Structure 1
Amino acid sequence: MSIQLFMPTFRVEECLEEIRECLEKGWTGLGFKTVQFEEKWKEYTGLENAHFLNSATVGLGLAFKILKMQKEWGDDAEIITTPLTFVSTNHAILYEDLKPVFADVDEFMCLDPKDVEAKITDKTKAILFVGIGGNTGRYLEIVELCKKYDLALILDAAHMAGTRLNGKIPGGEADVVVYSFQAVKNLPTADSGMICFKDKDNDDLCRKLTWLGINKDTYARSTDKGAYKWKYDVEHVGYKYHGNSIMAGIGLVQLKYLDQDNAYRKQLALWYDQGFEGNENIRSVKVAPGCDSSRHLYVIEVDKRDELLLALNESEIYPGVHYRDNTEYRMYSHAKGTCPNSHYISERILSLPMHLRMQKSDVDKVVEHVVKFTSM
């Protein structure tokens, strides 16, 4: 039987009950369940604001749009970011005609504070930190850099649902945090996300922009008796970015089990760690001190990565790569060579299968094949 990189697990009957309630009430769009999910997410994370979206990608785009509007950044503003991420992270900077400046990564595959500081200029307005795989890396050092140079901080927490740092959900220090609930994330729906601004005014503006700039959403304009207040104003050229109650209903169920599910992912990671212990041909990317990672990914670094990937495929084991150095893409090739460690790592890393349907025997099989190939 094949072992896939990702395979989401849903509590099907509970999810169907949430969806059934939406269908029976005749309310499947914005409001109702989205409001419930936002409140539960704020309660879970301790963050003051939360707005449910149709994806994390639109959340990152909104983060830059709103910060640019509120802080009056010009189009020459620079955002320091990582080249080791999914391309949507850095596309979000370009959406708002801002300039991504790539800083290198450390052994945790997160931004290296030393290289970040070296690349700060008078045009730098923000740092975009990605908690890759659920790892926090040297996040707190990045927080201090933002304070030192008066920079905004955007936390791309797409992999960080459930991650804690020194016992606390990170993000309260950031201007905005964006989470992903895409189909294979730790808290999977079909696709959706959450954006959490520190500032309430930014949260209010975000809600208008996600509903075409309209100053009152449909749910807010409906009464308990079903009366519909049609009159509203349009304050901005907005978008159709908000989430819906079907996805939020699934999210409500998944949130109940998030810590439990992440605990099992940590057990899978421990089995991998034990299997590779002492093997000089395989370096497992470690979790940073103080980080209780969501363990969205389990990443190893090896020689002959592409050959190993093909060999595993032949044994019906299907790993992945997270990620290719973004400066290798045509879009960002102007920065090629600026982040040598990121480039080196991206040629050697492999993400091993990591999902709740795996058992120890599956991990043992993956370990056996990886060890066998890297020993040749």
Structure 2
Amino acid sequence: MNVPFVNLAAQYLSLEEEILAAIQDVGRSGGYILGEKLESFEKDLASYLGVKHAIGVANGSDALFLTLKVLGIGPGDEVITAPNSFIATGWVIAATGATPVFADVAEDMNLDPRKAEQAVTRATKAIIPVHLTGRPAPMMELNALAEEKNLLVVEDAAQAIGASYRGKKVGSLGRAAGFSLHPLKNLGVMGDGGIIATDDSNLADTLRKFRNHGLKSRDECEFWGFNSRLDPIHAVVASIKLKHLDRWNERTNEIANRYRKGLQSLVQVPEDKPYEYCVYHNFVIRTEARNGLMAFLEKEGVQNRVHYPIPIHLQQAAAYLGYKSGDFPNAEQYANTMISLPIYPELTDEQVDFVIKKIGEYLK
């Protein structure tokens, strides 16, 4: 049996007729930049997230970068985040001219509020909690820290659309949030895409101009901006998929529970807290036998990955920040022991059981 790590075509084929009709409708409309179809998706997604505004942009990285820029983050500022995220989380801070400052993570691989507090200086202006693997970060503690220190909170929700924390959707828990619509995400389009979510109407108004060159009308530029817009052709695909998102996330939770039950005596498995709903963008196990197990699984037809093998603070791009190996022991240990297993709604129980069986064969 072969178990692909992802199978994007399977999801597309289940919706192909509806997607092709929607794309054809965009083509016949003649409206290919911004417009009603994008606005309709933005409105529906804002309602789903429980926020006043959703602003479509070109990708998830831009969602965070544009937000930081409009919030005034720049040279001389420091922004605290986790070192075990995708490289873009560090890049968006550096791209504003600010300095990325890392703090170690807790057992759930999300930012440890105590470590974040220790990283605060007079130059700190914001915190970017990362909802890694679809699991909500400890927002109650991080928001309390931000309020005490007068810091902005911008959620990196790229991997966590549909997740919730203490009864509220991820993306509604800070000043603003950035989501990714990359094809690999739980709500993915047929290319790149991103969303900014916020309850701040003034911020949303500025962001809508900022994503479109700073224009306040076709011919009037209020300030220098960027060209970062979500295309209507992606918006209509996302609109179709949004109707299925909760069902898909429920299925990934079923798969996660099946993995957990079958693997908890063999490896370290992620555990859910009663006040959070994880959407399992990735299902990450940890074992000291990581490298051998990964090779064995690949040989047996089970694709697997590591998210991520090199923490941001140890990347060449971040060398100027002066961090070294050992600075963030939890993040570094997890990078050396984790494996991401296949998890997506189209995965069958038989495939999941095959993965469990093969892990057992190697570790027993």
Instruction: Tell me if both proteins adopt one fold, taking TM over 0.5 as the criterion.
Output: yes
The match for 2:103 is 103
Tell me the TM-score normalized by structure 2: 0.94
- 1:164 paired to 2:164: yes
Describe the SS at the equivalent of 2:222. coil
* Structure 2, unpaired ranges of 5+: none
Aligned to 1:77: 77
Looking at structure 1, the residues matched to 173 and 183 of structure 2 have their Cα atoms a distance apart, in angstroms, of 28
2:323 to 327, 335, 352: 335
**Quick check: 1:87–1:326 contact (8 Å CA) kept in 2?**
yes
**1:338-362: CA deviation from partner (whole Å, max 9, x where unpaired):** 2111101111011100112211110
1:205 aligned onto 2:193: no
Partner of 1:61: 65
1:230-275 Cα shifts (integer Å, max 9, x gaps): x521122222101111000000000000001111111111110111
* 2:169 alignment partner, SS class: coil
The match for 1:299 among 284, 288, 295 is: 284
Distance in 1 (alpha carbons) for counterparts of 2:7 and 2:162: 18
User: Alignment identity in percent?
Assistant: 28
- Residue among 4, 8, 22 paired with 1:18: 22
Counterpart contact for 1:213–1:235, Cα < 8 Å: yes
Q: Does 1:320 align with 2:305?
A: yes
Correspondence 1:373 to 2:362 = yes
For 1:289 and 1:326, the matched residues in 2 are separated by 30
Deviations 1:132-176 (A, max 9, x none): 111113221111111111100010001111111123213333111
The answer to whether residue 248 in structure 2 is matched with residue 261 in structure 1 is yes
State the distance in 1 between where 2:260 and 2:145 align.
33
- In the superposition, the TM-score normalised over structure 1's length comes to 0.91
Moved more, 59-68 or 249-258: 59-68
The Cα shift of 1:104 comes to 0.4
The separation in 1 between residues aligned to 2:24 and 2:74, in whole angstroms, is: 47
Match of 2:293 in 1: 308
Residue aligned with 2:168, SS: coil
- What amino acid sits opposite 1:342 in the alignment? A
The aligned amino acid for 1:335 is Y
State the distance in 2 between where 1:140 and 1:236 align: 35
Q: Which residue of 1 aligns with 2:179?
A: 179
Query: Which residue number corresponds to residue 225 of structure 1?
Result: none
- Offset, 1:57: 0.8
Matched, 1:151 2:139: no
Q: 1:49 aligns with which of 50, 53, 57?
A: 53
| Residue 87 of structure 1: aligned partner | 87
**Does residue 142 of structure 1 match 2:142?**
yes
Contact kept? 1:135, 1:288, Cα under 8 Å: no
Deviation for aligned residue 1:125: 0.7
Question: What amino acid is the match of 1:167?
Answer: G
Structure 1: 5+ residue runs without aligned partners?
Answer: 217-230
**Is 1:108–1:287's contact at 8 Å kept on the other side of the alignment?**
no
State which drifts further: 143-152 or 20-29.
Answer: 20-29
Question: 2:238 aligned with 1:251, yes or no?
Answer: yes
Q: Aligned to 1:173, what secondary structure does the other structure show?
A: coil
Pairwise CA distance, 1:335:
1.7
Deviations 1:287-318 (A, max 9, x none): 33411111111110011212211111111211
Q: Structure 1: how far apart are the matches of 2:7 and 2:106?
A: 29
SS at 1:179 equivalent: strand
Task: Give secondary structure in 2 for the equivalent of 1:4.
Answer: coil
Secondary structure of the residue that 1:130 maps to in structure 2?
A: coil
Regions of 4+ moved over 3 Å: none
Cα contact 1:129–1:154 (8 A) shared by 2: yes
Does structure 2 retain, via aligned residues, the 8 Å contact 1:53–1:192? yes
Q: Is the 8 A contact 1:107 1:285 kept in 2?
A: no
Report what 2:347 is aligned to.
358
Of 207-216 and 240-249, more deviation after overlay is shown by: 207-216
Structure 1 CA distance, aligned partners of 2:170 and 2:344? 23
Hey, what does 1:275 align to over in structure 2? 262
Tell me how large the CA RMSD over aligned residues is. Answer: 1.4
| Residue 192 of structure 1, CA deviation | 0.8
Structure 1 residue 74: deviation in Å? 5.2
Question: CA 1:116/1:322 → structure 2, altered by over 3 Å: closer, same or farther?
Answer: same
The 3 A distance-change label for structure 1 pair 74 and 161 is: closer
CA distances 1:316-340 after superposition (whole Å, capped 9, x unpaired): 2111111231122112242223211
Aligned pairs for 1:3-42 (under 5 A) are: 3-8=3-8, 9-10=11-12, 11-42=15-46
Q: Tell me the equivalent position of 1:346.
A: 335
Task: Give the match for residue 113 of structure 1.
Answer: 113
Q: Tell me: CA distance 1:303–1:58, structure 2 relative to 1, closer, same or farther (3 Å).
A: same
Give SS of 1:373's match. Answer: helix
Aligned partner of 2:201: which letter?
Answer: K
